[in-house]
């Protein structure tokens, strides 16, 4: 027996000496943390017997382990028990095993990076960062979980989240919209907001970003259509009540306190963690930006059709590029464990229909967007098509049709819209 593997031997020996320690060990380790097959077999056997309610002792554990690993002989297990002085220190042994497992995984990541033949350094960096993120969150360890460990871990996390009042949703800041969605933006979900140009999807995306940040959220807002100054002008207009156009033209008046109102709004917004990027980007570059922001809780992308294709798909057709982008965004949401809100242009087909209400079929360029999305919100502002449209300062109805919702109900929510100050709110 190799002395460098002593922590694994000690954990396994402790389990054989006193099987009642297995719940404590499972709180630190999973099957994938064991490098030695016989030790892993003993751990798996003890877990399986515990989950099935069967007798747990050295004999039953040894028999179960030997059935799955020929090297887990009686002599091998006897030696494990002999070199383990006591089961009382099992948690210290388990922590040492966990550290060894992390070290092995880190070395494996370094080796993968050194031998990866990817030509795009951004993709290589993203891959390494993703693996490191998984490692820090315990995902690499969970990859080796047995089915019993997986469901037991889920139940444990469920209890912890319930005890702390944590739900797998992030509020949009619009209660009626959250209610229909089932709680808000689902964790690790791709949420698509679709509309024709000028209907209000950018305003809604920006309002959601600011609402999240106002509740201590950290948001990455990627604008591929408007500049950072244009977005900030909308944000200031929304809070101050000033005209968005006046802010753009710097046409404000001291005698009416408008500069003061703008300054107060800027002061309030400076406390919100909304990180704006207004340059073109691929999904890989978006991932790099996201992983560089500590405590990120949501990404908003305006809009999906302007995301640059990956270098290896640049010559593909628009349909294929959009499909690849949609798949990549969904994978990114799962990898980061946060919601991604992707705005999307709708095609012009609805313009010729008597009923201007959009449908899922109006999503542009790829059916994959609908397939990948956890929820699809389609916007409709009937005043755009009225014979006598209201003035810019008039309040209009903005209908949010939740046309797809993988985790709760579908339905329609009515919000209020005012284009003059880029404001969207709920209530009468």
Phi first, then psi, for residue 11 (nearest 5°) are -60, -45
Alpha-carbon gap, residue 241 to 256, rounded angstroms: 13
Q: Where are the domains of the chain?
A: 3-162, 169-425
Judge whether 61 and 42 are in contact, CB under 8 Å: yes
- Residue 178 is predicted with a pLDDT of 94
What percentage of the chain's residues is helix, strand, coil (to nearest 5)?
A: 55, 15, 30
* DSSP, res 377: E
- Residue 414 is predicted with a pLDDT of 95
What element of type H or E holds 105?
Answer: helix 90-115
Each residue's pLDDT tens digit, 128-153? 666 666 655 555 555 555 666 666 66
Verify cis geometry, omega within 30 degrees of 0, for the bond prior to 303. yes
Instruction: Give me the mean pLDDT over the 214-227 stretch.
Output: 91
Tell me which of 210 and 158 has the higher pLDDT. 210
Q: Are strands 411-418 and 298-302 parallel, antiparallel or unpaired?
A: unpaired
Each residue's pLDDT tens digit, 404-427? 999 888 999 999 998 888 889 998
Lowest mean pLDDT among 186-195, 273-282, 383-392: 383-392
Single out the residue of 73, 80, 77, 97 nearest to residue 25, CA to CA: 97
Q: What fold, for 169-425?
A: Rossmann fold (3.40.50)
Could you tell me the pTM of the whole model? 0.69
**Could you count the other beta carbons within 10 Å of the beta carbon of residue 4?**
9
pLDDT band, residue 194 (cuts 50/70/90) = very high
- Residue 333 is predicted with a pLDDT of 92
Q: What fold, for 3-162?
A: DNAb Helicase; Chain A (1.10.860)
């Amino acid at each position: 027996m190799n002395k460098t593997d002593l922590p694994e031997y000690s954990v396994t020996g402790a389990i054989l000496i006193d099987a009642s320690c297995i719940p404590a060990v499972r709180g630190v380790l999973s099957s994938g943390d064991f490098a030695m097959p016989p030790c892993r077999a003993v751990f798996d056997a003890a877990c399986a017997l515990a989950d099935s309610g069967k007798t747990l002792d050295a004999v039953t554990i040894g028999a179960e382990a030997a059935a799955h690993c020929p090297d887990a002989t009686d002599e091998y297990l006897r030696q494990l028990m002999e070199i383990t002085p006591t089961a009382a220190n099992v948690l210290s042994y388990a922590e040492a095993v966990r550290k060894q497992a992390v070290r092995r995984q880190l070395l494996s990541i370094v080796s993968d990076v050194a031998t990866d033949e990817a030509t795009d350094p951004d993709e290589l960096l993203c891959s390494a960062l993703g693996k490191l993120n998984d490692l820090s969150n315990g995902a690499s360890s969970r990859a080796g979980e047995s089915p019993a460990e997986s469901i037991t871990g889920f139940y444990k996390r469920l209890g912890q989240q319930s005890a702390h009042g944590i739900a797998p949703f992030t509020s949009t800041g619009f209660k009626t919209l959250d209610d229909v969605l089932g709680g808000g933006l689902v964790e690790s979900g791709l949420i698509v907001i679709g509309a024709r140009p000028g209907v209000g999807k950018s305003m809604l995306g920006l309002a959601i970003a600011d609402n999240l940040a106002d509740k201590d959220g950290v948001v990455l807002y990627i604008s591929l259509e408007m500049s950072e100054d244009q977005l900030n002008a909308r944000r200031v207009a929304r809070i101050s009540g000033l005209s968005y156009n006046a802010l753009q033209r710097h046409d404000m008046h001291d005698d009416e306190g408008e500069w003061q109102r703008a300054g107060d709004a800027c002061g309030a917004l400076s406390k919100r963690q909304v990180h704006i990027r207004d340059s073109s980007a691929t999904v890989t570059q978006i991932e790099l930006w996201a992983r560089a922001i500590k405590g990120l809780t949501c990404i908003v992308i305006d809009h999906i059709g302007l995301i640059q294709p990956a270098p290896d798909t640049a010559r593909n057709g628009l349909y294929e590029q959009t499909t690849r982008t949609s798949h990549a965004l969904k994978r990114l949401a799962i990898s980061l464990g946060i919601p991604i809100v992707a705005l999307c242009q709708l095609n012009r087909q609805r313009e010729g229909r008597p009923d201007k209400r959009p449908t899922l079929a109006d999503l542009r360029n790829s059916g994959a967007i609908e397939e990948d999305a956890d929820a699809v919100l389609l916007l409709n502002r009937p005043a755009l098509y009225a014979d006598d449209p209201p003035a810019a300062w008039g309040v209009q109805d903005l209908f949010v049709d939740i046309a797809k919702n993988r985790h709760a109900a579908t339905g329609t929510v009515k919000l209020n819209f005012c284009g003059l100050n880029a404001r969207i709110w709920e209530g009468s």
